[in-house]
Amino acid sequence: MDIIISAVANRTGSTLVQRIFNARRKTLIWGEHGGIVTDFVRIGEMAGYFSIQGRGEKEAYFKSGEDPNTWIANMSPDLERIREGVVQAVKACFNAMYAEHRDNHDRIGFKEVRYGKPEIELLKACYPDAVIVLLVRHPVDVWKSETSYWSGDAGLFSRIWNERAMQYAELRDPDRSIHLLRYEELVERDEATLGLLAELAGISRDEIDSVLNVNLNSTRTERHASDIEQIRAICREGMERLRYAD
C-alpha cells in the first residue's frame, strides 16, 4: 500500500479525497473494505494475551529440555513473533486483494471510514513508507449529512467521533507521513490544504479543481436540536483538539 485514506467517520469526504488521488492516471485508490483491519488488531490482541499468559509455561518447557510431561496448555510464542505474524497476515491479505489492476498503476491504496489509532498504527507497521491521510469533519455537519450508519443514535455517533478525533489529533505526524486534513478547508479550497494534497497526490491544482468542481452524492438534512446539543456536549474535547468552534 502506498496511500491510505482514513476518515474519522462516514460522510466526512473520504470519497472526495479518494477521487482527488485518482485524478493521477497511474494512481488507484480503492474504496472501503468493511474495516477488516480491526479483525487483525483483535487477532493480535488475543494471541498476545496467550503469549503473556503462557510465558511461564514456555520458559519451563524449554528449560526442561522439551519434556512432554511439562504443562504447556497455553504455551505461545513471544509478543514480537505475534506482532510480526499479524503484520505479515495483513500484508498478504492486501497484496492478494489489491492485485487487480496493479500492473497498470504505480501507486495503490484504499480509503476507509472505520479506523482509529490501533488500526492506523498497525497499517503503519505494515507499510512504513505509506502516505496516510486522516480526514476529519465537524461532527454536527457529519450528523446532518447522514444518521443511518449509527441507527439515529446521536450519543453513539458522538462517542465514536470524539474518540477517533482525539486519536487522529495524536496520530498526526508529518515526519511519519501521517497527515491530518479538515474537510471544511478542503471544500473551501484553503491554499495550504490544497497545496499539501497536490504534493501528496502528485497532481496539479487544476486537476484538484476538476474534481472539486463536480459534486457527487452530497446530502444535508436538518436534525433535532436535542441531537445537536448532545453532539456538541460529547464531542467538545475532540472539537477543541481539532480547532472546531461550537
At 78, give phi and psi (nearest 5°). Answer: -60, 155
For the chain, the maximum distance between any two Cα atoms, rounded to a whole number of angstroms, is: 72
Look at residue 49 in the predicted model and tell me its pLDDT.
Answer: 97
| Helix segments in the chain, DSSP class H | 14-21, 37-53, 55-63, 79-97, 117-126, 139-145, 154-171, 183-187, 191-201, 205-212, 225-234, 236-241
Residue type, 70: T
Q: Which residues pair with 173 in a beta bridge?
A: 178
- Give me 186's grid cell: 478542503
Does this model's pTM top 0.75? yes
Look at residue 146 in the predicted model and tell me its pLDDT.
Answer: 84
Rounded Cα distance between 30 and 100, Å, is 10
Look at residue 143 in the predicted model and tell me its pLDDT.
Answer: 95
Residue ranges of the chain whose pLDDT lies below 70: none
Look at residue 246 in the predicted model and tell me its pLDDT.
Answer: 72
